[in-house]
Structure 1
Amino acid sequence: MRIGILTGGGDCPGLNAVIRAVVRKGVGELGDEVVGFRDGWRGVLEDDSVPLDLASVRGLLPRGGTVLGTSRTNPFAVEDGPERVLGTLRRSGVDALVPIGGEDTLGVAAKLAETGGIRVVGVPKTIDNDLDATDYTFGFDTAVGVAMEAIDRLHTTGDSHHRTLVVEVMGRHAGWIALHAGMAGGANVILIPEHPFDVDAVVAHVRHRFDSGFSPIVVVSEGAKPRDGAMVLSTGEKDAFGHVRLGGVGPALAALIEERTGREARAVVLGHVQRGGTPSPFDRVLATRFGLAAVTAVHAGETGVMVALHGTDIVRVPLAEATAQLKLVPAERYAEAEVFFG
């Protein structure tokens, strides 16, 4: 069997572990051929690929990013894009495609699977952990670890200078990184997109923390916004999937807190640091299991499915179900964190 593989969307720790697992099982155990398309859906559109053999995946397990490259190319936003994709796959002799990505990359995969032109088995990837139908996505654990370590370090410098530190983390629509990193790092306020925040309450929590003799740490998702609608910041630029580029809530909130409290406040924007570097042990194992399961699903004749983590088991779920809606932080999970505010 000839299997195609691509990595789309934002880079993510663990992508190379999936590639390695697909090749090790497909080529090494089942006698498959594996071809990697460069830079996500762009590589399929432009017929830009590279053969993957056992030698090519040696040493990939601990390596961050993706050796295949990635992009936010959307074939459905390009003239004749879907037809060009299917044409490339036919000419390449690809029997099945394993796209690795989040809601956008797998959303394209779901549409292609519906055409019946190619067998598709998706692998979930996003540091935001917002892909539905799976308990966790690889990359999330690594991102939380990076953010938590930053928060741990900021506690001491904040207390030394008696200032508020606002830590902005990734999370456009879902606040999973902020929630987990904030709870693990002992943040005094956690602000997420699912729950618009009350500026007065944030300032009150900050003052309470100062009154207790310590300096406050505020963790905020990039997509968080106040109830009154102010401070919703973006560049106005959009990607191929229509997402507006966000950024700036951390510095804006720090300036507001400094103005309201009369005490110095600084913002730390972690940005792409959360996506880079070597994956955590959890992400290495999860990504490996996903890659192995994807090859098994391909050989079972499956299509239009995604491998997913349910509890400790790897299962198959419909791609349409996985991409129908985002997995957001439920109110009861946020309420757990609120116990520690202030």
Structure 2
Amino acid sequence: MPERKRIGILTSGGDCAGLNAVIRAVTRCAVDVYGWEVLGICKATHGLMTRPPEAMPLDITKVDSLLTMGGTILGTTNKGDPFAFPMSDGTVVDRSTEIIEGYNQLDLDALIGIGGDGSLAILRKLAQQGGINLIGIPKTIDNDVGITERSIGFDTAVNIATEAIDRLHFTAASHSRVLILEVMGRDAGHIALNAGIAGGANIIMIPEISYKIENICDHIKKRQARGQDYSIAVVSEAVCTESGDVLEQGHFADCRLGGIGQYLAEQITEKSGAETRVTVLGHTQRGGISSPLDRILASAFGVAAVNLIAEEKYDRMVAWHDRMVTSVPIADAIKDYCAVDPEGTLVKTARGLGICLGD
């Protein structure tokens, strides 16, 4: 039995379904199997900047009801790079040493960080600088973390988007309309592609495949000529305009993608004459009860992360590959993001089903 340890766990970046299930799995395994102490760090690295560090003890009683709960009981943030942290007076300060000091003040033997590629990159840099024993767990609804085939939160997001498509079919058919569903996907089109196929969409648009409006309009007209008077289009928020412009919601201080659905609706209406409406799914994809697959993945990742600490194998990220949990160096996992392969199985599947991809 490994010596008694005190480990910390934090959730960083955007929230998603399955985070609480990871917290539950880590705590249950660490406490029940190894007899360790677990501290949940609040608000990601911001909790380690606070003095005293903001953390809560986690035990079986506290986490046992978390399996289906959305969000994260620890809180999270996707703002404030600790190496260039924006202060209230407008200055930018390197606060990395404060985070490392916070880790040491909590007397932790290891830290489990749950995050996407950006969060894991920051956590690894902190770990390298401060000698933190770090294990990473991939989570992102975009499913674009390198090496791992699945990240926590993706399956639930796809399920929610698919349900939205299922519901849109009926109203689209009732009014003979083109309905556009804009889904999340900061850099990659995995949600749009998976949900579009699962939901029976007629058009799927992802940032990895360029398009022409006339191709989309031709597809709509061909459907109309066959007596199919409505069409469902699913578009990833990261898709650009036909001329290559990135659309953002400008009233935010940082970059927030959005608006491609409305742009496409206006173009389709103008060039095809089809009555078009837009639904922006937004943060609905991040919330609610996690899917069974995300619960299973979260549980497997949480247990595997604790086992890596027991084996003292640090600077590694757990990953899903060939129907099993493995681990890879964090540096390798975040080196490249995982975009949709334009020649991959799902793209070929969509084409084989007669779905228009716009190219």
TM, length-normalised to structure 1: 0.95
Could you tell me which of 75, 82, 89 is aligned with 2:82? 75
Once the 2 structures are TM-superposed, how far is the Cα of residue 114 of structure 1 from its aligned partner? Answer: 2.3
Once the 2 structures are TM-superposed, how far is the Cα of residue 40 of structure 1 from its aligned partner? Answer: 1.4
RMSD: 1.4
**Hey, what does 1:223 align to over in structure 2?**
238
Tell which deviates more after alignment, 332-341 or 22-31.
332-341
Cα distance in 2 for partners of 1:130, 1:64 equals 21
**Hey, what does 2:56 align to over in structure 1?**
50
Cα distance in 2 for partners of 1:308, 1:301 equals 17
Q: Return the letter of the residue paired with 2:18.
A: G
> Residues 156-195 of structure 1: matches in 2 within 5 Å?
156-195=170-209
Cα distance in 2 for partners of 1:80, 1:254 equals 44
Cα distance in 1 for partners of 2:116, 2:54 equals 21
Cα distance in 2 for partners of 1:12, 1:38 equals 16
User: Alignment partner of 1:326: what SS?
Assistant: coil
2:20 and 2:73 in contact (8 A); partners too: yes
**Hey, what does 1:317 align to over in structure 2?**
328
How many matched pairs? 338
**1:15 and 2:30 are equivalent in the alignment:** no
Q: Deviations over 1:102-157 (max 9, x none)?
A: 01111112212322511000000001100001011121111111111111111111
1:130 and 1:326 in contact (8 A); partners too: yes
Could you tell me which of 266, 277, 285 is aligned with 1:255? 266
**Hey, what does 1:284 align to over in structure 2?**
295
Once the 2 structures are TM-superposed, how far is the Cα of residue 263 of structure 1 from its aligned partner? Answer: 2.1
Could you tell me which of 338, 341, 351 is aligned with 1:338? 351
Once the 2 structures are TM-superposed, how far is the Cα of residue 77 of structure 1 from its aligned partner? Answer: 2.1
1:197 and 1:225 in contact (8 A); partners too: no
> Residues 52-131 of structure 1: matches in 2 within 5 Å?
52-73=58-79, 74-78=81-85, 79-115=93-129, 117-131=131-145
Tell which deviates more after alignment, 229-238 or 249-258.
229-238
**1:4 and 2:8 are equivalent in the alignment:** yes
Cα distance in 2 for partners of 1:335, 1:198 equals 19
Could you tell me which of 207, 211, 215 is aligned with 1:201? 215
User: Alignment partner of 1:66: what SS?
Assistant: coil
Q: Deviations over 1:265-307 (max 9, x none)?
A: 0001000111110011110000000000000001111111100
1:21 and 1:288 in contact (8 A); partners too: yes
Tell which deviates more after alignment, 282-291 or 195-204.
195-204
Q: Deviations over 1:196-246 (max 9, x none)?
A: 22111111112222222221111000001244225634427454xxxx211
1:99 and 1:123 in contact (8 A); partners too: yes
User: Alignment partner of 2:156: what SS?
Assistant: helix
Q: Return the letter of the residue paired with 1:9.
A: G
**Hey, what does 2:45 align to over in structure 1?**
41
1:113 and 1:303 in contact (8 A); partners too: no
2:16 and 2:153 in contact (8 A); partners too: yes
**1:308 and 2:323 are equivalent in the alignment:** no
1:171 and 1:223 in contact (8 A); partners too: yes
Cα distance in 1 for partners of 2:337, 2:264 equals 26
TM, length-normalised to structure 2: 0.91
Cα distance in 2 for partners of 1:231, 1:6 equals 32
Q: Deviations over 1:30-84 (max 9, x none)?
A: 1111111111121122221111111110210011111111111322222232211
User: Alignment partner of 2:162: what SS?
Assistant: helix
User: Alignment partner of 2:317: what SS?
Assistant: strand
Cα distance in 2 for partners of 1:230, 1:26 equals 48
1:235 and 1:247 in contact (8 A); partners too: no
Between the aligned residues of both structures, percent identity stands at: 46
1:199 and 1:226 in contact (8 A); partners too: no
Q: Return the letter of the residue paired with 1:228.
A: S
Gaps of 5+ in 1: none
2:179 and 2:278 in contact (8 A); partners too: yes
Q: Return the letter of the residue paired with 1:56.
A: K
**1:329 and 2:329 are equivalent in the alignment:** no
1:188 and 1:217 in contact (8 A); partners too: yes
